[in-house]
């Protein structure tokens, strides 16, 4: 499927599931956002250090965190 070209068009989660172009997209309130390219090496090092520190803090807590991106759907 070709991706939408109009900024005024609204899309659904069902539409999102049909897009297979190898790029990263985010859908917020029906609006489509092209995600940034892969982060830089410096960004990755900083993110890794933050995750390490947060992970140590959470060792004895009942909650957890996630490092890698994944789809999250927040229905109304």
pLDDT on residue 4: 52
What confidence tens digit (pLDDT) does each residue in 6-60 have?
567 889 989 888 887 777 788 888 988 888 777 899 999 999 999 999 999 999 9
Closest by Cα among 70, 58, 65 to 26: 70
pLDDT on residue 50: 92
pTM of the model: 0.46
User: What number of H helices and E strands is found in the chain?
Assistant: 2, 2
């Amino acid at each position: 499927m070709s991706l939408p070209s109009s900024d005024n068009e609204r899309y659904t989660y069902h539409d999102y599931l049909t897009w297979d172009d190898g790029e990263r997209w985010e859908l917020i309130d029906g609006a489509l956002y092209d995600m940034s390219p892969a982060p830089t090496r410096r960004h990755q090092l900083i993110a890794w250090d933050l995750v390490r520190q947060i992970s140590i803090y959470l060792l004895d807590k009942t909650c957890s965190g996630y490092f890698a991106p994944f789809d999250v759907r927040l229905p109304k």
